[in-house]
Structure 1
Amino acid sequence: MAAIYWYGILAIIGAVLTVFIMVKKKDNHELLIFFLFAMMTAFIAEMIGLLFLNSYSYYPGVFKDHYAENIFGHIIPNATLWPATALLVSAFPSRYRRILLITVIYTLLDVLFVRLGIYQHNWWRTWMTSAAIFFYCIFMKSWYLQLKNRRRTFLRFITLWFALLIIMKLPVSILLLTGLQYTYVGWFENIYRDSGAFSVFYNAAVSFICALFLCVLKKWYWKLASFILYFTCDALLMEFDLLFFHGGWNIYCLMLMRAVCLFLFIALENKYPHKLSEQISEIS
């Protein structure tokens, strides 16, 4: 069976598990925000492991470029299976036995993918995968429980920021893989590696400010400012020859995409049951 089908199975399992949890639980908007937070957390860990430490390699068999393969290979499980697992251990009462069972399943998947030749350890080891998923589950469960505390305003802001960050970052990764858009700042020789690493830091910085505008300040003109900020920063990247477009894609297409993503986040944040601006007002 082709490698991409194995990766597709992981995506299907993650998607089915996510839908099942959303149907079973009533607080869907809160869970969706947490799902996006868990996804971005996995993305950051993968960026460190893949792009900076060269810990392991993915081989889904779609791209010729090694780093394009890595980016595509990591998106599939980290956008589906890992955050779905975070929902499973957080939304339902989970004892350590369930987390240990999940750890064993992930460990077996690691061994299977290595033996199939569709995933390779460089200096990484299987026991590290076991430790990573175990602590990921513990961290996510603890974070979710802390979010239930009304006084955890800072944690809620980080959660919303990460949710906004993944909404803004994931489409950029897809554009990179399709060849329509990329950035190049010279951190790495490979375009995919350089663009992938820079886009995380760039979008993290801009989305952090936008999260303040959208979630804390809340006035209509601050919401408008978040759109202007993203449009301006993207235009500056293009002006300084750091942002490039191909295949008919251009700065105006990017602005439209940014606007859609920001509107999507605003809609989600409006449904989020814990309003940061109200909580900050109560504290002050």
Structure 2
Amino acid sequence: MQSITKRLGGLMKNRVYFLGLNFLSILLLFFTYRKMNQANKRYFFPLYLAFTGINYFFEFIVLVLTKAYEYDPKILKKQYFDNVFGATVSQLFVVPTTSLLMNLLNLNAKWPTLLSILMTGLDKFFVKQKVYKHFWWKTPFTTVGIQLFYVLAKFWTIQIIERKNKWFELMTVYFAVFVSYATMNFFHVALFKTCFFHINLYRNPYRSHVATSSVYSGISALIFMPVILYKKWYVTLLSMSLFISLETLFIRSRIITISSPPVFYSISFLTKLFSILIGNYVLRLLKGNTSSSTSTGSESRSF
């Protein structure tokens, strides 16, 4: 009885620490949006997704490819999916939120140092509480990594808001699509078991799936870009036809197994459609044209 109670206590402790931190991050996100300059509010969502996308790429290298550390929020049953859930939600809320806070509220130069110290303290605390585990990663890496990310986020913000840099706008749209597609792909597999990649890169099949799915999401986001930028019906048709053909080939080759064809193809179509819509919306925000049509037959504004 005591062992069961102890186990339940540990499970609840991890969930409370992890979800509590992310809940505070969401509150900070809303606070930042309310307090920021009205004229720059259209940049909030694009920058948020750009910062998240940068973090996703970093997490893919450090967490998935090299196994630097491991999260243990005890939310999902499958241990590796639980690990990735922890990483996904952290990179979706905690780090991007603090970057937005500093850059959009124009906080002074001491804040990056203060927030990196805070993040370092959280790193140590979570390791001690066994919510998070280091392998080759070291706490000082967190301090340096956060500082470097804040420098990059500041530079990115300047390129988007002040200089209207077209290449950074393009990369921001790409990150918006990638974050949307990769996040939805992870959750529909982890929660509903819709499909599974069978390319054995690692001993752990779930790690192999996440690695393959991440690369697939990154490539898919590139293919979506012409649909978003050119808004021609035949580009959309060609893109969707390519995906249907490719995924059908993967299924027949048993690279992907699916739980149910109707469910898989429906969710696959909806995730792609929603990702394209998010990309269109971010593009319109960056161009200051939030009222324009998202029709696939209309002309896009030139980069």
Matched, 1:12 2:23: yes
Structure 2 CA distance, aligned partners of 1:159 and 1:48? Answer: 20
1:244–1:136 distance in 2 versus 1, CA, 3 Å: same
Partner SS for 2:158:
helix
Paired residues of 1:213 and 1:225 also in contact (CA < 8 A): no
* Alignment map for 1:125-140 (pairs within 5 Å): 125-140=138-153
Q: Which residue of 1 aligns with 2:74?
A: 61
- Whether the aligned pair in 2 keeps the contact of 1:206 and 1:229 (CA below 8 Å) is no
The answer (yes or no) to whether the contact 1:227–1:262 under 8 Å persists in 2 is: no
Whichever residue aligns with residue 181 of structure 2, its letter is M
Per-residue CA deviation, residues 126-167 of structure 1 (Å, 9 max, x unaligned), is: 111111111111111111101235462111111110111111
Would the aligned equivalents of 1:50 and 1:70 in 2 still touch at CA under 8 Å?
no
Identity percentage of aligned residues: 21
Q: Does 1:211 align with 2:222?
A: no
* Aligned equivalent of 1:91: 104
Picking from 72, 78, 85, the partner of 1:72 is 85
Moved more, 261-270 or 111-120: 261-270
Deviation at 1:85? Answer: 1.4
Return the alpha-carbon distance in structure 2 between the equivalents of residues 195 and 122 of structure 1. Answer: 21
State the TM-score, normalized to the length of structure 1.
Answer: 0.89
Cα distance in 1 for partners of 2:32, 2:265 equals 38
Higher mean displacement: 159-168 or 257-266: 257-266
Letter in 2 for 1:131: V
Report the secondary structure of 2:133's partner residue.
strand
1:254 maps to which residue?
Answer: 268
1:188 alignment partner, SS class: coil
4+ residue runs over 6 A deviation = none
In structure 2, the residue matched to 1:197 is 211
Q: Which runs of 5+ in 1 are unaligned?
A: none
State the match for 1:169 in structure 2: 182
Counterpart contact for 2:169–2:286, Cα < 8 Å: no
Normalised TM-score (structure 2): 0.84
CA distance, structure 2, for counterparts of residue 244 and residue 92 of structure 1: 47
Aligned positions, number:
279
Instruction: Confirm or deny: 8 A CA contact 2:43 2:161 kept in the other structure.
Output: no
- The Cα offsets for residues 155-210 of structure 1, whole Å up to 9 and x where unpaired, read as 11111101111111101111232233221212223222111111121121121121
- SS of 1:202's partner is helix
Give, in whole Å, the separation in 1 of the partners of 2:211 and 2:159. Answer: 30
Alpha carbons of 1:150 and 1:130: their partners in 2 closer, same or farther (altered >3 Å)? closer
Deviations 1:50-77 (A, max 9, x none): 1111111111123454422211111121
Q: Tell me the amino acid that sits aligned with residue 190 of structure 2.
A: L
Residues 176 and 282 in structure 2, CA contact (< 8 A), matched pair in contact too: no
Larger radius of gyration: 2
| Offset of residue 224 of structure 1 | 4.3
User: Could you list the runs of 5+ residues in structure 2 that have no partner in the other structure?
Assistant: 1-11, 290-298
Tell me what 1:43 maps to: 56
How far 1:237 moved relative to its partner? 2.4
Superposed, 1:134-283 pairs within 5 Å as 134-150=147-163, 152-178=165-191, 179-215=193-229, 217-246=230-259, 249-273=263-287, 278-280=301-303
| 1:28 counterpart (23, 41, 49) | 41
Encode CA deviations 1:218-269: one digit per residue, 9 max, x unaligned: 3343344444444343333223222222278322332233223323432343
2:251 is matched by which residue type in structure 1? M
